[in-house]
Amino acid sequence: MSNRNLTALSTIWIKECTRFLRIWVQTLVPPAITMSLYFVIFGKMIGSRITLDGDFSYMEFIVPGLIMMAVITNSYSNVSSSFFSAKFQRNVEELLVAPVPTWVIIMGFVGGGVARAAIIGVIVTLVSMLFIDIEIAHFGVLIVTLLLTSVLFATAGLINGIYAKSFDDISIIPTFVLTPLTYLGGVFYSVSMLQAVFNEFWQNVIQLNPIFYMVNGFRYGFLGQADVNYMTALVILLVSNVVLFAIAYRLLSKGTGIRA
């Protein structure tokens, strides 16, 4: 990477980080409060009555899922809102005419989303330590899964920001797609728990949810156990990242949603 590209990348990344850190009360505090409520309601009140197969409690089971849910939501929303704001204020055009490669612009915005997701992940983990003692089984798998997931949804947020024509458009995907997929992604239940509620058909449908594999890959990093093979989760993440990056690169290169 040339010094010019490195300077451009660091400038965009610092700008993105400064943007969400300046309004930390709106970007960092709400996830901590929301996850605390999840821990109290689902972990303590309801979780104390649920027995799982394995050497861990229900509270320990949902912690990785809740961390992943916060990472997905914040990495996506950070980039989608940031890029659309840049479009709305007409300053993204300055990036497009500058001698900066498209991939540098993408990595700069995505890097901001990853930074916010990482900070949120640490905050939620610290909050969870008020309720349970955390022991990490596979730290490497944990970090790789967290990084790939945040990059994936930050890139997806960028694509949403490219297509969005109003501020309302950037809330459609999180509300009608991400939220249902996340809640059906194994955050609060395992496949064995589904057997008592759903038939085999619906179990197979739920396992078609890509977030299901991300949550379980992250859970494997924490507990050393999961409903799916963690390598399957990593392959899905890698392939999805390549596909979404290619889509974002093409859209940004063509000026979709920006140029008349």
Q: End-to-end alpha-carbon separation of the chain, Å?
A: 32
pLDDT of 184 strictly over 90:
no
State both tokens at 172.
Answer: 């459609």
Among the residue ranges 21-25, 64-68, 186-190, the one predicted with the least confidence is 186-190
Output 25 or 258, whichever has higher pLDDT: 25
> Cα–Cα distance between 66 and 36 in angstroms, integer?
10
State both tokens at 147.
Answer: 């990084």
pTM of the model: 0.91
> Cα–Cα distance between 54 and 52 in angstroms, integer?
6
pLDDT at 17: 95
Q: What region does 96 belong to: left with phi over 0, alpha with psi -120 to 50, or beta? A: alpha
Output 47 or 102, whichever has higher pLDDT: 102
> Cα–Cα distance between 45 and 37 in angstroms, integer?
11
48 secondary structure, DSSP code: G
Please report which confidence band the pLDDT of residue 36 belongs to, taking 50, 70 and 90 as the band edges.
confident
State both tokens at 97.
Answer: 């005419």
C-alpha closest to that of 141 among 244, 74, 64? 64
Please report which confidence band the pLDDT of residue 207 belongs to, taking 50, 70 and 90 as the band edges.
confident
pLDDT of 195 strictly over 80:
no
Among the residue ranges 3-7, 143-147, 193-197, the one predicted with the least confidence is 193-197
With pLDDT > 90 as the criterion, what percentage of the chain qualifies? Answer: 50
> Average pLDDT, stretch 40-56?
73
pLDDT at 169: 86
> Cα–Cα distance between 257 and 260 in angstroms, integer?
8
Please report which confidence band the pLDDT of residue 146 belongs to, taking 50, 70 and 90 as the band edges.
very high
pLDDT at 240: 96
Q: State which of 18-27, 125-134, 202-211 shows the largest mean pLDDT.
A: 18-27
The neighbour count for residue 204, using CB atoms within 10 Å, is 10
Tokens 């909050």 found at? 127
pLDDT at 64: 92
CB-based contact 109:16 (threshold 8 Å): yes
Q: pLDDT, tens digit, for every residue of 83-99?
A: 998 888 888 878 878 88
> Cα–Cα distance between 125 and 68 in angstroms, integer?
10
pLDDT at 198: 62
Please report which confidence band the pLDDT of residue 68 belongs to, taking 50, 70 and 90 as the band edges.
very high
pLDDT at 150: 97
Q: What is the DSSP string of 140-160?
A: HHHHHHHHHHHHHHHHHHHHH
pLDDT of 260 strictly over 60:
no
